[in-house]
Amino acid sequence: MRPAYQTLRERLREEILAGRYRDGKRLPTESELVAQYGLSRQTVRRAFQDLVAEGVVYRVPGRGTYATEPGRYLRQFGSIEDLMSFSDDTTMEVLVGLRRRVDVDAAARLRLDDDVVYTVEFRRLHDGIPFVRTVVHLIPAVASKVLDAPELADGAVGTQTVIGVLEPQLDEPITEAAQSITVAPADAAVARAVGCEVGHPMLRVDRLYSDARGRPVELSVSHFLPEQYTYRVTLRRSG
């Protein structure tokens, strides 16, 4: 006999796919499902946990659980740890492995004295569908620690993140990611990586990672395909 949490999980999934919870409608709470189906709270919680892990639903602290819009990959970020766990349900394919290059703009943003950075280019896929192309620039002092990392070599495929590969090698942990979000057209490299037309509107996300001493160590520039990706940030009142 199938466990009760699996039965509930499948029932909720079917209702979501049937469109019952569209247009921002909240799913029933744990307490409501306990009362409706006569289940334990642990059983309901396990069903929700599975649906969250599958990307079928997402939670908004203090508000409830909502269905993810069909056809899109959704990630909710609120910490450096969330960014590091980006690998949990996606695949990273390295298009151009880590190597030295001259990039005046990236070097300036990383506050370097010269124009030399180390760059790796990759894309991410969810369920086999590419949804983002990212270029990561590292300062030479940091890049030297991971130049031979197989995860950052040409053609590497895995579930890692660059900061996940980097951080064990750093003297100071990464503690901050300053982020900007804009809209930008896809150039030829982006279009080739995610399978869209050149000039297609993309969600551009720039992140400058700094360590505990406030020193920039990594600059990432990502172009997300809007049709395949939803970006969600939870903001909380301070104090």
Burial of 114 per CB tally in 10 Å (0-12, 13-18, 19+): exposed
- Between 65 and 221, the more confident residue is 221
d(CA 134, CA 201): 16
Token pair, residue 92, equals: 């990273």
Q: What is the DSSP letter of 40?
A: -
DSSP assignment string, 178-192: EEEEEEEE--HHHHH
Angle in degrees, CA 98, 81, 160, rounded to 5:
35
Q: Which of 15-19, 132-136, 198-202, 207-211 has the lowest mean pLDDT?
A: 15-19
What is the torsional sign of CA 163, 195, 95, 119?
negative
Question: Is 110:118 a contact under the CB 8 Å cutoff?
Answer: no
Is a pLDDT exceeding 70 seen at residue 101? yes
- Count CA within 13 A, CB hemisphere, residue 68: 23
The full set of domains in the chain, from first to last, is 4-67 (1.10.10.10), 73-233 (3.40.1410.10)
Q: Are 113 and 139 in contact (CB under 8 A)?
A: no
| pTM of the model as a whole | 0.66
Radius of gyration over every alpha carbon of the chain, rounded to an integer in angstroms: 20
What is the average pLDDT across 174-192? 92
Q: Is the pLDDT of residue 232 over 80?
A: no
For 96, 110, 187, 229, the CA distances from 196, given in Å and listed in that order, are 19, 30, 10, 14
Give the distance from CA 143 to its chain's centroid: 22
For the chain, what percent of residues have pLDDT higher than 90?
A: 49
Strands (E), the chain: 57-60, 64-67, 73-77, 91-102, 116-126, 129-138, 157-158, 174-185, 201-211, 216-224, 229-233
Average pLDDT in the 149-168 region? 91
Mean pLDDT of the residues in the chain: 85
Residues 173-197, mean pLDDT to the nearest whole number: 92
pLDDT of residue 77: 53
60-96 confidence digits (pLDDT tens): 666 788 887 665 655 555 555 555 555 556 899 999 9
How far is residue 30's CA from residue 121's CA, in Å, rounded to a whole number? 42
The tokens of 229 are what? Answer: 């990706």
Q: What is the mean pLDDT of residues 188-211?
A: 94
CA dihedral 212, 84, 80, 64 (to 10 degrees): -170
